Structure 1
Amino acid sequence: MAGLSLAKRWLSAQLLLLWTLASISDCRMYLFAPAAVTLEEYSKANITITSSSPSNQSVVIQFNVTYSSKSNYSSVVTLPEQVLLPVEASSVSFNVTAHDVGQVTTFLLSNNTDNNSLPVRIRFMVVHSNVVSVISQVIGWIYFLAWSVSFYPQVWENWRRKSVVGLNFDFVALNLTGFIAYSVFNIGLFWVPYIKEEFLNRNPNGINPVDANDVFFSLHAVLLCLVYIIQAAAYERGGQKVSWTARILLVIAWLFALVSLFVAVAKQITWLDYLYYFSYIKLAVTLVKYVPQAFMNYRRQSTEGWSIGNVLLDFTGGILSILQMVLQSYNNDEWKLIFGDPTKFGLGLFSVVFDILFMTQHYCLYRRSSQYEAVSEQED
């Protein structure tokens, strides 16, 4: 026991020594502030800047405005020119007043050169109504859940029928590729520090477009697509297989990713560009993935085996995502969120149009009984 106690003391002494050396070697003082502040127009807010450690001298913190959605940033918000962090103080607060709807980005600079190694950025966003912001966030979570849950009705349909006849394999293969590409894009921008820093250097006034729920959604989608494939291998599939057209499209997509990888390794493009190429693969897949399923339903004159629950949830998510874009555009007076990004808006609208087509096929055009379909398939 004496030997064990001596070992513990020695380990504690080593840890204390390492901590002391680290403290001595890194005497820099870091500033912390909210990355984004949202205010309702004509409102006020108190913002706190916190220091990692008290300073032995007064620190002057200046506000360097680098971006404003209006020609004069003071028409959006009123900011002090500078604030003073007193000696031995660990924080300082300042007031900001919102006026007109818009956005202002400012960097905090101080007379302490140790602080300038890690510049702190605050983005002020003035909106018409905080209530609209809350509604927009709620809608965002609802359509996120709708899209996430939309994969399960098809899994249940396959399990219930012990068959994947009616589920187009081209759709499954394209969907898997699309969500793998989307996952690579999300993981890179959310978890890789080098990529995140590269994005910030290229877009100093922008906000990282990837959140934790985006990463979860894409990885969850890949998992469910793999479940579809396992079910296709285990259940009756009626001789279905991936068409040559889909195979060629998949080969083109992955060859594009592979060639882009070599180009990135050769430093002809940045790794951020390489990640964006994966997002382009996802966009291209979304444009074509519904076509094989819709044509298969038309050819069979039936939607048997294609879950309408999947369609209804996807339609709900698509409508709510478009509604959120409209609300955000109104609340921020930034209609370019829709018209300035026609790809995102167009893809959402494209998905909704196909969902309407699938609902029309299911509820209006092909309402024959399953028994009739089975007899028809045997005759074919």
Structure 2
Amino acid sequence: MNFLNASLLPALISLLISVKCIDCDITLSVHDVSLKVDHNATVQLILNGTGTEDRLHFVVQHGDIAEVVPSDVVLTAEVTNITVIAKSAGRTQIYANSTNNSTNVGDVYLRVTVYLVDVLDTVSTAIGWLYFVAWSVSFYPQIYINWSRKSVVGLNFDFLVLNIVGFTLYSIFNLGLYYIPEIKEEYSNRYPRGLNPVQVNDIFFAVHATAASLITIFQCFIYEREGQRVSTTARAILGFFGLFILISIVLSATAVIHWLDFLYYCSYVKLTITLIKYIPQAYMNYKRKSTVGWSIGNILLDFTGGILSMLQMILNSYNYDDWVSIFGDPTKFGLGLFSVAFDIFFILQHYVFYRHTQYIMS
């Protein structure tokens, strides 16, 4: 019995040390730091629970952007101050390695943003709110013109149905990723140091756009429409999208894919719709040689929002030295540019090509 106890003693000691480290809850007072070049900020390393002699080593993803002092910390105090020093513009992540593999350092990370000019950050925020307002208000000129004319002649129904489907899927994506705990947990597991990309204003815009589109569609049922209907081509496209979404739902429900993947598929369909939804209206204007019934106010506000959105991306890229966000991943910038190009074409149709044409309803 004594031999057995002696042989188990080292294992018991090892187990107690492991439990002691696991019981240590290590975190940082903040996970996001924004600094101007050559400035610094103090962040607290907080140790909850039993102390340990474990040592942490901080690793900076891009050492030319930021530095941590001290870079090594012994976990003996409940609170230890560390200093983050901004060296050059950009974005980087800081995380920690532990000398004890049993210590959980998953919550010890920082997302650091270093900018060049203070005022550009403020200007960028103001621009963000301006284009948010412009895009949100852009639905109402069309609603008003339909009401004042008591007619939707000139408003393409293919554009409307593509728009409502796109904004509905965009709403599903935003609401799911912001409110559903299981999906938020999956996103956190997949991107442990990533920020949730959905903000409250994204939800408001998507839901508001869906509601405004529904009002416009309702107007199509109560006002003169001169026999207009959704085309066979649009029905086929929407049928394909519907089948794709239905298959995605089935795969998610049977755990073949995650619900987070389903939300991403919804966003991909929304992006595709954004690329094609303006074409039916532009072609209809061309056939009628008129823009009567199609609100130019909608286009001017959409154009304003698109220009401001791209301007914000350019300002942020300069201020954070992050040009790769535009040229390395051009999807968002390209979509904005594509929408602005169509807006310019609509403006030319309205003010140049068909400015003297008045379409007469039969």
Give the aligned partner of residue 43 of structure 1. 39
Is 2:64–2:88's contact at 8 Å kept on the other side of the alignment? Answer: no
- Counterpart of 1:195 in structure 2: which amino acid? I
Which consecutive residues of structure 1, in runs of 5 or more, have no partner in the other structure?
1-26
Give the aligned partner of residue 81 of structure 1. 71
Query: Does 1:373 pair with 2:341?
Result: no
Tell me how far 1:263 sits from its aligned partner. Answer: 1.9
In 1, Cα distance between equivalents of 2:50 and 2:265: 49
Secondary structure of 1:103's match?
strand
Query: Does 1:274 pair with 2:262?
Result: yes
Going from structure 1 to structure 2, the CA distance change for 1:114 and 1:142 (only over 3 Å counts) comes to: farther
Query: Does 1:249 pair with 2:244?
Result: no
In 2, Cα distance between equivalents of 1:358 and 1:274: 34
Tell me how far 1:163 sits from its aligned partner. Answer: 1.2
Q: CA RMSD in A?
A: 2.8
Is 2:291–2:354's contact at 8 Å kept on the other side of the alignment? Answer: yes
CA-to-partner distance for each residue in 1:3-54, whole Å, 9 max, x for gaps? Answer: xxxxxxxxxxxxxxxxxxxxxxxx9867452221111111112234567xx7
Going from structure 1 to structure 2, the CA distance change for 1:82 and 1:289 (only over 3 Å counts) comes to: same
Give the aligned partner of residue 228 of structure 1. 216
Tell me how far 1:56 sits from its aligned partner. Answer: 6.8
Give the aligned partner of residue 352 of structure 1. 340
Which consecutive residues of structure 2, in runs of 5 or more, have no partner in the other structure?
1-22
Tell me how far 1:80 sits from its aligned partner. Answer: 2.2
In 1, Cα distance between equivalents of 2:359 and 2:65: 67
Tell me how far 1:368 sits from its aligned partner. Answer: 2.8
Secondary structure of 2:92's match?
strand
Query: Does 1:311 pair with 2:307?
Result: no
Query: Does 1:101 pair with 2:89?
Result: yes
Tell me how far 1:202 sits from its aligned partner. Answer: 2.5
In 1, Cα distance between equivalents of 2:26 and 2:144: 53
Going from structure 1 to structure 2, the CA distance change for 1:320 and 1:74 (only over 3 Å counts) comes to: closer
Going from structure 1 to structure 2, the CA distance change for 1:264 and 1:112 (only over 3 Å counts) comes to: same
Going from structure 1 to structure 2, the CA distance change for 1:141 and 1:344 (only over 3 Å counts) comes to: same
Going from structure 1 to structure 2, the CA distance change for 1:92 and 1:152 (only over 3 Å counts) comes to: farther
Secondary structure of 1:106's match?
strand
How many pairs were matched up?
A: 340
In 2, Cα distance between equivalents of 1:350 and 1:220: 23
Q: Structure 1 residues 246-255 or 184-193, which shifts more?
A: 184-193
> Normalization by structure 1: what TM-score?
0.81
Q: Structure 1 residues 112-121 or 234-243, which shifts more?
A: 112-121
In 2, Cα distance between equivalents of 1:125 and 1:217: 26
Give the aligned partner of residue 14 of structure 2. none
Going from structure 1 to structure 2, the CA distance change for 1:243 and 1:83 (only over 3 Å counts) comes to: same
Tell me how far 1:118 sits from its aligned partner. Answer: 6.6
> Normalization by structure 2: what TM-score?
0.84
